[in-house]
Amino acid sequence: MSMFTVFLKAMDGSKYPETLKALSDIPIPAIVAYVVFLNIAACVYEYVAEQSYSSVLTLSAISHCLGMVLLCIQAFSKGAGGISAKALILDALSASLRLSSTLIYQGYLPSDATGDGVYQFFDICSLFLCFVLLYTVLVSQRCSYEECDDTMTMTPMVLGCFVLGALLHGDMNSRPIPDTLWMTGLFVGVIAVLPQYWLITKSGGRATTLTAHYILNMAVGRVLSGMFMWHVREHITCVPWVGNFEHAMAAIFLAHAIHLILLSDFAYYYLRSMVSKSDRSQQGLLIPQQGMLI
């Protein structure tokens, strides 16, 4: 069964009452967050970007920020259970590396007016929310943090991201260090989801509703970011290592593809759980452990 079929079934509440129950599990503050952010995205696209296609990159940052807000709502209302501190640390590192480039240089920014501060603003908001969540998970709500299950070792992968960033970076900023940091931030963002998946798997495959929405918003953001990168693919340049092969463009597309594969795997089982009574539990959504990619 394809993901599209699962989605259509999920939308048919008359035939699948469990779908309506899944939707009713979303708390009111989360619904308000969705409404607010959708309106913000519409206003940014219509009035700031003036419907410029390049604003999809800013919309991806808005989607990511919404995911962080939903995770904050979960942490403040239900505790830190199901939230990976390691994933938050990697997310914060990824945002910091990107901002070290986008706050100073123009190489990886949308060409419309949102690149003059709006895009960076939402990345800064996401970074701030990461720190808020880390304090909540590790300090104020530590009693509910599943520390014994959040055990995935990430240091070798992070070091690998820095090495690949140094080898595969583009020259959009015309400065090796900022270009390397941006590319490293992209790679770290890809692996940032792995500790969250690991925690879900170690805790029996159960993910709370808002954790699932956080991951799904990350997926939407990555799709939008990929659309932007495809749109500007002819402008992504580097100093080729082999012939005229533009390795920076290939690395960016491959990173987006890997991230989408990881996120779409979770999205499939999330949508399936909405239409399957057997996949739901009082603890949240039951994601089959054999279905996860890790």
Report the number of distinct structural domains present in the chain. 1
Segment holding 285, helix H or strand E: strand 284-286
The model's pTM: 0.84
Write down the pLDDT at residue 197.
87
pLDDT at 270 over 80: no
Q: What is the mean pLDDT of residues 188-204?
A: 88
CA-CA distance, 210 to 195, in Å (whole number)?
A: 17
pLDDT at 23 over 70: no
As to burial, measured by CB atoms within 10 angstroms (0-12 exposed, 13-18 middle, 19+ buried), residue 28 is: exposed
Containing structural domain, residue 44: 3-291
pLDDT at 8 over 90: no
Q: Which band of pLDDT confidence, cut at 50, 70 and 90, is reported for residue 15?
A: very low
Percent pLDDT > 90 in the chain is 59
